Chains A and B, each alone.
Chain A
Amino acid sequence: MTEQTGRQIPDRLTSPLSRALKSWEALLLVVAAAIFIANSLASPYFLDPWNLSDATFNFTEKAMIAFAMALLIISGEIDLSVGAIIALASTVMGLAMTAGAGTPVLVALGLGTGLACGAFNGLLVARFGLPSIVVTIGTMSLFRGISYIVLGDSAFTGYPASFGWFGQGYVFWVITVELVIFALAAIVFGVLLHRTNFGRMVYAIGNNATAARFSGIRVERIKFTLFLLTGLMSGIAAICLTSRLGSTRPSIAAGFELEVVTIVVLGGVSILGGSGSIPGVVLAAFVMGLVTFGLGLLNVPGIVMSIIVGALLIAVIALPRLWSMVRR
């Protein structure tokens, strides 16, 4: 229905926006390359395939969620409950594991819990029109609260050995299973955002939800789908993280939401919605991973590390704006 108007919106955005996005990604690429070179010079241990492989664990799980989060933020919404969804999904898997469930059931439950949590968020935001930041701050406490009630200060341990494949396994040589999932997710979300009508509609909603609605886009349904996708990716991340840790505690993935949002924003997605790209998010994930791993190799204290990450975030975001001010 009204496909013509649906097409007109991206047409209007194409030329100036895509150029801006390209320059942003170019900037990120330069930053990533600079960090890579600096790390290689600073530490003799950096350029080692196994070490680099280990380093990818610093960001793969967060980046998986960041792809879905990018779409959500482009549409003008946000989900701060992703860390809590991981905790709840991990707890549900732990309960099933104690009841004797095998790996396929655990995976299904992890995905199912993620989807259910996403649906709950999506329902409150899309159906009842509540602001997503408020809803997901609430569900952040709710989902994690359930984990705390179930587990208290105890932990689920003893996951089956085959379950360890997701977070500790290798596809071949140094390529981890998580890295492959990360790459697949990047391709799927990249195609979804940049090559489908759905993706166009996400941009349209983020730029002007009212105009999008008058253009015949079913805004609520798309927002609901985006929350569902974020829940699903959190479920996948929960499977990976639980498998990697080999255990579940209610404090699992604490603080993930802010790191995910940091990757998304660093990737050039406007926090106000309407613009951003998946390649930018991929680059941002690598930048974050390289920075934290490189600084870790130099034994820079974590506190200094978070200052550097914060400064990097502000610098990368402020630079284009300063540049345009200078040019004017």
Chain B
Amino acid sequence: MSILKKALTTAALASALIAGSAYAQDGEKMRIALVAKALGIGFFEAANKGAQEAAAELGDVEIIYTGPTDTTAEGQIEVINSLIAQRVDAIAISANDTNALVPTLKKAMDRGITVISWDSGVAPEGRQMQLNPSSAPLIGNTIIKLAADHLPEGGDVAVLSATTTSTNQNTWIAEMDKVKGDYPNVNVVGTVYGDDLADKSYREAQGLMQTYPDLKAIIAPTSVGIVAAAQAVTDAGKVGQVNVTGLGLPSEMAGHVKSGASKSFAIWNPIDLGYSATMIAYHLAKGDATAEPGAVIPTGRMGEVTLDENTEAAMADPFTYDASNIDEFSSIF
């Protein structure tokens, strides 16, 4: 009996040490701090909603949602210092500065606190893992899929991008080209550049409709371009003929979704992001997952994420917004 007891104690001790976390499994709730870039921003309030949802699902988790008043690194450091002082179990942060937070977050990790970054990342030495909302291949696939979904008979589609040198857009379009074969009905006729300027994007969208009279959809993987294209389609009286899709912000796109100029578009969902960040922080702090390249960490209803060689992970496909959910999200961000 005593040997068994000893063995059990040793095992418990060992596992606690291996876990290397401050999480005391004595019935107390695990405290996970969700740190925003600044308070009072709809995107982060929505992420908090997701974190609360995850906490309710996990049961033994308390979320501390906090952040500075302004989006400064100094403000976030004060917040982190007070979280270290409270000996929270995990910190999940969207960083105002990739580098300036590193010394403070290192101190947090030294004191046994699990540290992950989400949305806006921290340099690798200052966190255990970074959760990106999505990844280039997922985005590239999503934007063409959105166009294909509303083109059962297929047809011509064109891309309205930002500038010729926009790294993000170029990567996404290149990824889209890779998977074009999966959507044989969709014929991508060309790419134009609106330079992320509203008036230039508008003129380029007009030009597309004149050059390709049979155009069925415009894909704009930029929040400026998608609004301008939707406006150009509306003004040309082509709502219903030309569908505008791509990446945009719900608050800016709500009107165009309701008018039918855009049947659907995508962007990351902050609620899912806060939810997944909480799930990951929970598993890392609990010690039943480790943040190392190749590790797979469960994220509840979102499935799971796999860490790459930089211990970064992509959460999911961008979330699709259409008439059914636009009202809910347009007030958030």
**Chain A residues with a Cβ under 8 A of chain B:** 43, 45-46, 48, 50-51, 54-55, 57-58, 155, 157, 164, 167-168, 241, 244-247, 249, 251-255, 292-293, 296-297, 299, 301-303, 305-306
Contacts and interface: CB of A to CB of B under 8 A. Distances in A.
A151 to B, nearest CB: 12
Interface in B59-85: 64, 66-70, 72-75, 77-79, 81-82, 84-85
A301 B85 contact: no
Contacts of B70: 254-255
Contacts of A51: 84-85
Given A155-B97, A245-B100, A247-B99, A253 B78 contact: no
The 3 residue pairs across chains A and B that have the minimum distance between CB atoms: A296-B82, A302-B69, A247-B99
Given A45-B85, A51-B85, A246 B72 contact: no
Given A155-B97, A155-B98, A302-B67, A245 B73 contact: yes
A303 B69 contact: yes
A67 B69 CA distance: 26
B72 A296 contact: no
Contacts of B123: 157
Given A254-B72, A299-B64, A45 B87 contact: yes
A230 to B, nearest CB: 20
A246 B100 contact: yes
B293 interface: no
28 contacts: A43-B86, A45-B86, A48-B85, A54-B81, A54-B84, A55-B81, A55-B85, A58-B78, A155-B99, A157-B123, A245-B103, A247-B100, A247-B102, A249-B97, A253-B74, A254-B70, A254-B74, A255-B72, A293-B78, A293-B82, A297-B86, A299-B66, A299-B82, A302-B66, A302-B68, A302-B75, A303-B40, A305-B69
Contacts of A249: 73, 97, 99-100
B167 to A, nearest CB: 13
B166 to A, nearest CB: 15
A297 B75 contact: no
A296 B103 contact: no
Interface of B: 38-40, 64, 66-70, 72-75, 77-79, 81-82, 84-87, 97-100, 102-103, 123
A58 B78 CA distance: 6
Contact of B85 (A54, A305, A306): A54
A58 B97 contact: no
B39 A246 contact: no
Contacts of A54: 81, 84-85
B89 to A, nearest CB: 14
B102 to A, nearest CB: 6
A292 B68 CA distance: 11
Nearest to B66: A299
A168 B77 CA distance: 13
Nearest to B39: A301
Given A45-B86, A55-B81, A303 B74 contact: no
Nearest to B85: A51
B289 to A, nearest CB: 26
A295 B66 CA distance: 12
B282 to A, nearest CB: 19
Nearest to A44: B86
Nearest to A295: B82
Nearest to A251: B72
Nearest to A156: B99
B146 to A, nearest CB: 30
A93 to B, nearest CB: 14
Given A45-B87, A297-B85, A245 B66 contact: no
Most B CB contacts (10 A, CB to CB) among A58, A164, A299, A301 go to A299
B28 to A, nearest CB: 13
B99 A246 contact: yes
Contacts of B98: 155
A302 B73 contact: no
Given A293-B85, A299-B66, A303-B69, 6 more contacts: A54-B81, A58-B81, A168-B103, A245-B74, A245-B100, A255-B72
Contacts of A155: 97-100
A164 B107 CA distance: 13
A162 B80 CA distance: 24
Contacts of A255: 70, 72
Contacts of A43: 86
Contacts of B67: 301-302
A251 B102 CA distance: 17
A164 B39 CA distance: 30
B241 to A, nearest CB: 41
A88 B84 CA distance: 31
A127 B40 CA distance: 46
A246 B102 CA distance: 8
Contacts of B82: 55, 293, 296-297, 299
A292 B82 CA distance: 9
A294 to B, nearest CB: 9
B108 to A, nearest CB: 11
A30 B85 CA distance: 25
A306 B68 CA distance: 10
Nearest to A168: B103
Contact of B39 (A48, A241, A302): A302
Contacts of A254: 70, 72, 74
Contacts of A164: 103
